[in-house]
Amino acid sequence: MIKKKSAYLFLLICLMSFTGFSQHINDLKINEILIKNDTNYADEYARHVPWVEIFNTAYNNVNIAECYLTNDTTGLYDGSGIKHWYRIPKGDPLTLIPQRSFLIFYMDDAPLYGTFHVNFDPGKEGASNYVALISSNGKKLIDIFEFPDSLRSAQHSYGCKEDGIKEDIGFLEYFTPGSTNRVFEGLTKAEQLQQRDPYGIGLALISMAVVFIALAIIFLMLKLFARLNRSKKPKARSEQPVAAMQSASTKDEDDITGEELAAVAAALQFHFADRHDVESEIITLEAQAMPYSPWAQKHISFKKVTRK
């Protein structure tokens, strides 16, 4: 009994550890930042404000709720008031970042506007040149993203050229909020085919050629199978009737089976013992007493009343 309880306890611990590993906050990375936002990405109030993009590098969902976003990691208080630490509210379903997906926070120093509006603005004078993501306990630094001072006046965003990889960071040629930073240039295969064959003649010829080649292959295979079937002679089937005919012709006519002998002996015994039936060969025909069927005449069954 004790061993069984220990096994159940071990299984429970394994499941709890697996659950904790499947949703790890350390998989979140700061992926892209834009400070000078004049005509770029707008928030839900149609305002152009600085924004930061968080990328979930894992292949499982991660909830960023109760973590901190800040541009000052010196502490929660410095003696003059509350530092610019923004605690992401709990209870908003949008804080759950799907696998390999992105989430945008607006750095507009207006947290009353909603869950994704932080309480600091890196574009203000005297702000530090980084944005940090801190765990819910306020002690562990999950990720820190440093940017040059020129980003405050640049017309491009600054981020990872390969999503989540901090070894290759720089100014990006395209703004990609909420999507991958890696932009695939060039035409797709469909667009290339459209340029090479604008009227679709080549595609039609290729399709017809594929169909006719497939039909020709099927015809040749059927013809080959027919020849193989003709080349095989049914020797076993032809030899069996011949052998049966030869055995029937060589059978002796006087060779009588035991059943036939028994039938002949029984017939002779009945004949000589005078045990066979003798028919009188006389047929008697009696006239019908009633010209009708008594079963069809219900009035016959009625009780006759005596007339006076």
pLDDT score of 221: 93
Whether 143 and 133 have beta carbons less than 8 Å apart is answered as yes
With a cut of 80, say whether residue 145 has pLDDT above it.
Answer: yes
* Higher pLDDT, residue 124 or 275: 124
The overall average pLDDT reported for the chain is: 80
* The dihedral sign for the CA sequence 22, 61, 54, 163: positive
| pLDDT tens string 160-172 | 999 999 889 999 9
Going from N- to C-terminal start, the domains of the chain cover 20-171, 186-226
Give the pLDDT of residue 237.
54
Query: If pLDDT is split at 50, 70 and 90, which confidence band does 18 have?
Result: very low
Angle ∠(37,133,184) on CA atoms, nearest 5: 55
The string of pLDDT tens digits covering residues 246-299 is 565 555 555 777 788 888 888 887 777 766 566 666 666 666 566 556 565 666
Give the pLDDT band (50/70/90) at residue 193: confident
CATH of 20-171, one of 2.40.50.100, 2.60.40.1260, 3.40.50.720, 3.40.50.450: 2.60.40.1260
Q: 63: which residues sit within 8 A by CB, 6+ positions away?
A: 23, 95, 96, 97
Confidence band of 9 (pLDDT split at 50, 70, 90)? low
Contact between 183 and 161 under an 8 Å Cβ cutoff? The reply is no
- Percentage of the chain beyond pLDDT 70 is 69
- Contacts (Cβ under 8 Å, ≥6 apart) of 98: 56, 61
